[in-house]
Amino acid sequence: MPTVELIDPQTLTEADLVGLYESVGWSAYTRDPEKLLASVRGSHRVAVARSGADLVGLARTISDGVTIVYLQDVLVRPEVRRDGLGSRLVRAVLDADPDVRQRVLLTDAEPGQRAFYTALGFTEAHDHDPGLRAFVRMSV
Ligand SMILES: CC(C)(COP(=O)(O)OP(=O)(O)OC[C@H]1O[C@@H](n2cnc3c(N)ncnc32)[C@H](O)[C@@H]1OP(=O)(O)O)[C@@H](O)C(=O)NCCC(=O)NCCS
């Protein structure tokens, strides 16, 4: 079972990230490796899992460090899924900011994602009590 560790994002390289992001098919990121590296290096927290020298999983957050943590990018290589690694990565980045009140994220409307985040204690905004609305404005 790969070890999960919080790392200094500045230590990551393009080569570290491109293989992992390609393995989950996120071509919007991998077609511009320079931007991919800048985005991950600009994160608040980054947790990674390695197999030897290769990254097999990563989770990262964006945050003011006080009131809100936004969970952005949780990815695990297909060959090591359903063994608890994604959950351990998310816990590692979230547990690093235990006093923050709001933990939020946006993800695809797939049943697997819903099951994954529900198992981690997240509630979809429209199911939240008291009621909440989540809004998004994407660029095309
Ligand atoms: C989502 C993802 C990170 C999950 O990683 P993982 O290591 O397989 O997750 P875990 O093993 O910790 O799963 C924990 C629980 O979440 C639920 N779950 C996870 N993936 C699921 C799926 N595809 N279908 C249904 N439930 C799922 C299950 O309840 C699972 O527990 P179980 O295996 O004991 O049934 C991984 O599938 C992935 O990288 N997907 C592609 C990228 C992505 O969509 N990321 C999320 C949006 S940012």
pLDDT digits (tens, 9 = 90+) for 10-62: 999 999 999 999 999 999 899 999 999 999 999 999 999 999 989 999 999 99
In a domain, 19, yes or no: yes
CATH number at residue 88: 3.40.630.30
pLDDT at 104: 98
Domain for residue 134, yes or no?
Answer: no
Can you give the residue range of the structural domain that contains 79?
Answer: 4-127
Is 137 part of a structural domain of the chain?
no
Domain count within the chain: 1
pLDDT by residue (tens digit) across 63-104?
999 999 999 999 999 999 999 999 999 999 999 999 999 999
- Alpha-carbon torsion, ordered 64, 65, 69, 75, to 10 deg: 110
What's residue 1's pLDDT?
Answer: 84
Given pLDDT bands bounded at 50, 70 and 90, which one contains residue 140? Answer: confident
- Residue 80 CA, closest ligand 1 atom number: 7
Domain-located, residue 136: no
From residue 22, alpha-carbon distances to 45, 61, 80, 113, 114 in Å are 21, 20, 15, 19, 22
- Which mutation among 81, 103, 114 tests ligand 1's pocket best, with the greatest number of atoms within 8 A of CB? 81
Residues in the chain: 140
Confirm or reject: Cβ of 84 under 6 Å from ligand 1. Answer: yes
- The tokens 């990262």 sit on which residue? 60
